[in-house]
């Protein structure tokens, strides 16, 4: 089956899988975005109960997608996993902590005799939705701006800064990327509620919240993408593997692969159409247009980093330590076996879709939450 498939083909395939999982996670971040809107959209206890329980049905999906994203990196690109997750230690531990408190909050918010009170756990949900997504955005942005690491001849790496990843917060590009991702998650959260909830008072607040976050997102998106296209990138020689700085590398990648440019434009167009559909036409299915557009755009922006002999994780300490899909991947045997297993992934997503559709056949109301003795 794999006789005509080279290791490079497998590396490209798995970089696409990683990129797709990244895009799916950003879509699923509507859960985190929704958590940051608890007091913006919910002005009474009943309304906040409704919002929490709407998200509570699906909160595991975003965490599961994040785990799959990390697992795919670990299996397909182990050197990248060890450099990023092991080197930028403080950033990833902060992200992990943000997701641990999410699980605790959903389980204990409405427990009888709650020692801390429900507002304490609602604060934790806000931290997960805001700080957690912001830091993930910062971590993803370092794929464009680089990290302070070195890799020796035995593929052993070490971080050269004692701040272990926190220095990424000093980059304006990284900060803008993080805030942009947070604004996008809030947009997705608002649109999810618009489609999922049956509560007139919340609906009245939704469109203004959507408008405010859309303006922030679009301004940052234009700036971030402009910086991506026109800033310096890193190219490696196909034969010698020597890494060099190349002006406007990402733009050159898009020009070399017009299909990626078309996919990005398609994703952005669907996202903008979804916003127009919600804001101007008051259509509640806008979440699907914005969601699919988000997946296409984020997947493309990640995938373009691995093509055309690009160093997708530049080293700021030693340019030749920069990571590429070739020098950071697993073996041919590992990637080929995993590729067979990956064919089952559509079955899993098909099951998730069926369960989702079953849960959302009817819009959720306050009366439904009150009648459920096991609500969050």
Asked if the model's pLDDT at residue 166 lies above 60, the reply is yes
Percent of the chain at pLDDT above 90?
62
Sole residue written with tokens 């988000």: 294
Sole residue written with tokens 């690109």: 77
Residue 156 pLDDT class (50, 70, 90 cuts) = confident
Query: pLDDT tens for residues 40-81?
Result: 998 888 888 899 988 988 888 888 888 888 888 999 999 999
User: Cα separation of 12 and 369, whole Å?
Assistant: 46
Please count the CA atoms within 13 angstroms of the CA of 75 that sit on its side-chain side: 19
User: Cα separation of 265 and 122, whole Å?
Assistant: 37
167 closest CA partner among 241, 88, 100, 107 = 88
Asked if the model's pLDDT at residue 113 lies above 90, the reply is no
What's the pLDDT at 106?
Answer: 87
Residue 197 φ then ψ, to 5°: -100, 150
What's the pLDDT at 349?
Answer: 74
User: Cα separation of 233 and 256, whole Å?
Assistant: 15
Compute how many other C-beta atoms are within 10 angstroms of the C-beta atom of residue 111: 12
pLDDT mean over 279-292: 93
Compute how many other C-beta atoms are within 10 angstroms of the C-beta atom of residue 204: 10
What's the pLDDT at 87?
Answer: 87
State the helix-helix crossing angle for 200-230 and 45-56, rounded to 10 degrees.
50
* SS3 at position 157: strand
* SS3 at position 177: helix
More confident residue, 168 or 111: 168
Asked if the model's pLDDT at residue 123 lies above 90, the reply is yes
Asked if the model's pLDDT at residue 365 lies above 60, the reply is yes
pLDDT mean over 302-306: 95
What's the pLDDT at 21?
Answer: 92
What's the pLDDT at 301?
Answer: 96
Query: pLDDT tens for residues 22-35?
Result: 999 999 999 999 99
Asked if the model's pLDDT at residue 314 lies above 80, the reply is yes
Query: pLDDT tens for residues 327-351?
Result: 999 888 889 888 888 887 777 777 7
Strands (E), 55-183: 149-151, 157-159
Percent of the chain at pLDDT above 70?
97
* SS3 at position 44: coil
Please count the CA atoms within 13 angstroms of the CA of 219 that sit on its side-chain side: 9
Asked if the model's pLDDT at residue 220 lies above 90, the reply is yes
> Beta partners for 234?
245
* SS3 at position 110: coil
Q: What is the pTM of this model?
A: 0.92
> Beta partners for 244?
235
What's the pLDDT at 373?
Answer: 63
Q: What is the mean pLDDT of the chain?
A: 89
**What are the structure tokens assigned to 322, written together?**
């920069």
pLDDT mean over 194-218: 91
What's the pLDDT at 193?
Answer: 94
**What are the structure tokens assigned to 347, written together?**
């079955």
pLDDT mean over 176-199: 94
79 closest CA partner among 139, 140, 153, 22 = 153
What's the pLDDT at 3?
Answer: 57
What's the pLDDT at 132?
Answer: 94
pLDDT mean over 228-252: 92
More confident residue, 348 or 162: 162
Compute how many other C-beta atoms are within 10 angstroms of the C-beta atom of residue 21: 22
Sole residue written with tokens 């300490």: 317
Residue 376 pLDDT class (50, 70, 90 cuts) = low
């Amino acid at each position: 089956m794999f006789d005509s498939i080279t290791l490079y083909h497998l590396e490209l395939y798995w970089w696409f899988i990683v990129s797709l999982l990244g895009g799916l996670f950003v879509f699923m971040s509507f859960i985190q975005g929704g958590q940051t809107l608890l007091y913006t959209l919910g002005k009474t206890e009943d309304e906040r109960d409704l919002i929490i329980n709407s998200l509570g049905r699906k909160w595991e999906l975003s965490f599961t997608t994040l785990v799959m994203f990390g697992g795919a990196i670990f299996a397909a690109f182990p050197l990248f996993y060890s450099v990023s997750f092991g080197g930028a230690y403080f950033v990833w531990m902060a992200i992990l902590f943000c997701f641990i408190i999410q699980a605790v909050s959903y389980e204990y918010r409405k427990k009888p005799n709650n020692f801390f009170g429900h507002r304490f756990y609602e604060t934790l949900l806000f931290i997960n939705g805001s700080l957690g997504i912001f830091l993930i955005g910062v971590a993803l942005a370092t794929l464009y701006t680089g990290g302070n690491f070195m890799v020796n001849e035995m593929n052993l790496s070490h971080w050269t800064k004692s701040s272990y990843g926190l220095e990424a917060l000093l980059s304006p590009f990284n900060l803008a990327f993080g805030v942009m991702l947070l604004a996008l998650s809030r947009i997705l959260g608002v649109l999810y509620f618009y489609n999922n909830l049956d509560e007139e008072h919340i609906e009245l607040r939704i469109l203004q919240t959507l408008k405010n976050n859309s303006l922030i997102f679009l301004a940052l998106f234009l700036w971030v993408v402009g910086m991506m296209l026109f800033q310096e990138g890193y190219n490696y020689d196909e034969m010698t593997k020597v890494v060099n700085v190349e002006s406007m590398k990402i733009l050159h990648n898009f020009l070399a692969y017009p299909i990626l440019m078309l996919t990005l434009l398609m994703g952005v167009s669907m996202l903008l159409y979804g916003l127009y559909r919600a804001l101007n036409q008051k259509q509640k299915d806008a979440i699907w247009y914005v969601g699919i557009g988000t997946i296409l755009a984020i997947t493309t922006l990640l995938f373009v980093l691995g093509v055309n002999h690009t160093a997708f994780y530049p080293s700021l300490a030693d340019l030749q330590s920069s990571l590429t899909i070739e020098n950071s991947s697993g073996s041919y045997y590992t990637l080929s076996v995993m590729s067979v297993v990956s064919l089952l992934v559509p079955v899993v997503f098909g099951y998730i879709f069926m369960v989702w559709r079953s849960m959302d056949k009817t819009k959720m109301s306050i009366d439904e939450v009150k009648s459920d003795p096991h609500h969050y």
